[in-house]
Amino acid sequence: MSARRPKIDKADYYRGIRMTPYDLIKEIAIATVGILVVVLILSAVLSSPDVPSATIQAWAKSDPVDFVTTAAGELSSQTITAQYGPPYTTGSGSVQSIGPIEPQVWAGVHVAVNAALDFVLQPLSQATVGDQTLASGLTTFNDASAAQQQKWLAAYNQALGSAKLVSNEVSVPSGDYGPVPVLMSRLLVLARSGGLDALLLTSDHFYQTDYSKPLLFLSDGGYFRGLAQAQDLTGTQWGMMNETGRYPGQAWLWLFTLWYQVPAIGSASNADLLVVVVMTILSLGLLLVPFIPGVRDIPRWIPVHKLIWRQHYKSMARRTRA
């Protein structure tokens, strides 16, 4: 006890300051009721946003070319997810680092995703019942060498550049694509039926709560981004703090979002990591304000406190005059 710095007695601390009656419970009660009234009014008048979630089914129906292009990209490991890196794959396509600092790599793969297998081949293999053409196509593809698979896929991906929608089917110019058109055609049918939404969630468990795979697949396509763009939600639109509709979103993320608008950061390949580092430093700065000379002195230099304690300073002045 004696080794500790003695604390200030409150009677002593408030010496010279007038004490007034104060009803804490009443203040809390009034504030609680007041906020409830405001919140009820806002809820009744403005409601809250709830734009339905995007589905793979809707994607396949409304933009089949984009869907097939993305699926073929997954099969040939050309998409963002397929090449992402940790925590999904061992790749390096989306790995960010600052010099030798690579926390993403250090953490390793913890949510393993095999884009070709998880998004295309595995769901198709579960839909082969009664479809001999699909079963045969899958066998042909799986039995082919990796070089042959890539040859088919490269040709097909190139042909998708001039794909057309004919009789609600994605049609490409004739070429040597092996079984790829059959696989893509069946995947499109599966997606349009809503089956792919469910199949991307299946695992060896009955209950499902992990949407990593369907979300990663959706995010690889242009359809999903288009929906976000229409709602002003992309990064260049300060999307991180926006919300669908004309509602306030996470406005408290304004500073986090701000850094992405700075060209030097926003266009960097490691923009996310840079922003994380900057925000970590700023958060630590906020935490340690009481100990940072200059920052802790600003309230004295810029006298906002004159407004906060205006009455107190008036009474001080009166006492001084008296």
Partner 1 sequence: MSEAGGMGSGAGAPPPAAGSSGSSSTGSPAVRDTGWTAAVRSRLEGRLPLEEVLPTRQPAFVGSWVYVFGVVTIAALVWVLVSGTVLAFMGAAWWHTSNLGHFFNSIHFWSVQMFFIFMVLHLWGQYWGAGWRDGRAKTWMVGVVLFLVSIVTAFTGYLVQQNFDSQWIAVNAKDAINASGLGGFFNVLNFGQMYGIHVMLFPIALTLLVVLHIVQVRSRGVVRPIGDPYVADTGASASTGAPQ
Map the footprint of partner 1 across residues 130-159, applying CB under 8 A. Answer: none
Of the listed pieces 71-79, 120-128, 183-191, 291-299, which binds partner 1 according to CB under 8 A? 291-299
Residues 12-31 that bind partner 1 (CB under 8 A): 12-15, 17-25, 27-28, 31
Cβ closer to partner 1: 28 or 165?
Answer: 28
Torsion of CA 84, 90, 92, 97, to 10 degrees: 100
Tell which one of 76, 104, 149, 157 touches partner 1 (CB under 8 A): 104
Strand partners, 170: 165
Cβ closer to partner 1: 163 or 233?
Answer: 233
- CA–CA separation, 61 and 67 (whole Å): 9
Cβ closer to partner 1: 23 or 176?
Answer: 23
Tell me: does residue 317 bind partner 1 (CB under 8 A).
Answer: no
Token pair for residue 9? 């007695």
Residues 38-67 that bind partner 1 (CB under 8 A): 38-40, 42-44, 46-54
Q: What angle do CA 72, 75, 77 make, to 5 degrees?
A: 105
Tell me: does residue 209 bind partner 1 (CB under 8 A).
Answer: yes
Tell me: does residue 107 bind partner 1 (CB under 8 A).
Answer: yes
C-beta of 279: minimal distance to partner 1 in Å?
A: 9
Tell me: does residue 321 bind partner 1 (CB under 8 A).
Answer: no
Longest dimension (CA), the chain: 102
Q: Which long-range contacts (CB under 8 A, 24 or more apart) does 131-139 make?
A: 131/186, 133/182, 133/186, 134/182, 134/183, 134/186, 136/179, 137/179, 137/182, 137/183, 137/186, 138/179, 138/183
Cβ closer to partner 1: 175 or 248?
Answer: 248
Q: Of 128, 218, 115, give the one whose Cα is nearest residue 179.
A: 128
Tell me: does residue 3 bind partner 1 (CB under 8 A).
Answer: no
C-beta of 59: minimal distance to partner 1 in Å?
A: 12
Cβ closer to partner 1: 45 or 166?
Answer: 45
Tell me: does residue 106 bind partner 1 (CB under 8 A).
Answer: yes
For residue 275, count CB atoms less than 10 angstroms from its CB and return exposed for 0-12, middle for 13-18, buried for 19 or more. buried
Of the listed pieces 70-78, 130-138, 175-183, 205-213, which binds partner 1 according to CB under 8 A? 205-213
Tell which one of 87, 91, 93, 222 touches partner 1 (CB under 8 A): 87
- CA–CA separation, 286 and 284 (whole Å): 5
Strand partners, 268: none
Cα-Cα end-to-end distance for the chain: 42
C-beta of 74: minimal distance to partner 1 in Å?
A: 16
51 within 8 A of 245, measured Cβ to Cβ: yes
Cβ closer to partner 1: 50 or 176?
Answer: 50
Residues 164-203 that bind partner 1 (CB under 8 A): none
Residues 239-258 that bind partner 1 (CB under 8 A): 239-240, 243-244, 247-253
Q: Which residues are CB-neighbours of 136 under 8 A, at least 6 positions away?
A: 179
C-beta of 121: minimal distance to partner 1 in Å?
A: 21
C-beta of 39: minimal distance to partner 1 in Å?
A: 5
